[in-house]
Amino acid sequence: MPQIFLISGLGADRRLFNNIHLPGYEYVHVDWLEPETHDTIHTYAQKLIQQYNILPGSTVVGVSLGGIMTVEISSIVPLHQAVIISSIKSATEFPWYFKLFRKVPLYKILPLSFYTTMGSLIKPLFGSMTQTEWQQFKSMLEQTSSTFMKWAMHAVLHWEPKILSGKIYHIMGTKDFIFSHKLIKNADAVVSGGTHDMVFKKGEEVSKILQSILIT
């Protein structure tokens, strides 16, 4: 059975993929490692490749930060297929606030405890949630390392994407308030009403899109 590597987003874990169904594949969940202070997106991607034995010809699917890592992994290892969801793949797709937070890095002065307790503050960015969805979202955030969260924010803001060496399949939602689909060039699929966490909320629809990509 072929493997498929799944990388979740910032403040999330493997539970993000609970509603994704890809028959015929063995899921390999790529859990976040604790970073070193000097790590960049590139060096961290190298660590994921080594830790999870991501070999040439592998298939990787990443959401949000996981999508950014997927793009970076694809620049190091020639993948069979690379799919990103609710994410970005080039500097031209950076949202406006990247520039702002580079100039005014408020994230640097926030206490570590803030990062895992900010669920209520950022909840509106993910659209409406059922009580079950909210409890899972809150739980994933609270169980994410604060050190990792703070490092990741800095690393993403200073990410320097390379010229793509291969095809990156890109799936976006029309209600994503983190990364706007309007800035995405050549998206392979745009999910109507899809929010930043649509991989969970619209798992059935996203699964069908993934299945159609994986058979190509």
pLDDT digits 0-9 by tens, 188-202: 999 999 999 999 999
Neighbours of 60 (CB within 10 A): 29
- Round to whole Å and give the CA distance between 120 and 48: 30
pLDDT per position as a tens digit, 43-95? 999 999 999 999 999 999 999 999 999 999 999 999 999 999 999 999 999 99
Q: pLDDT band at residue 156, thresholds of 50, 70 and 90?
A: very high
> How many domains is the chain partitioned into structurally?
1
Count Cα neighbours of 176 within 13 Å in the Cβ-side half-sphere: 27
Q: pLDDT band at residue 215, thresholds of 50, 70 and 90?
A: confident
- Residue 20's domain comprises 3-214
Mean of pLDDT over the chain: 92
- Round to whole Å and give the CA distance between 179 and 5: 22
Sheet with 59-63: list strands edge to edge: 26-30, 3-7, 59-63, 81-85, 169-173, 189-191
- Rounded to 5°, the CA angle 146-88-20 comes to 75
Answer whether 14's CB lies under 8 Å from 66's CB: no
Q: Is 47 helix (H, G, I), strand (E, B) or coil?
A: helix
**What number is the average pLDDT over the span 129-147?**
87
Answer whether 148's CB lies under 8 Å from 32's CB: yes
* CATH code for the domain in which residue 76 is found: 3.40.50.1820
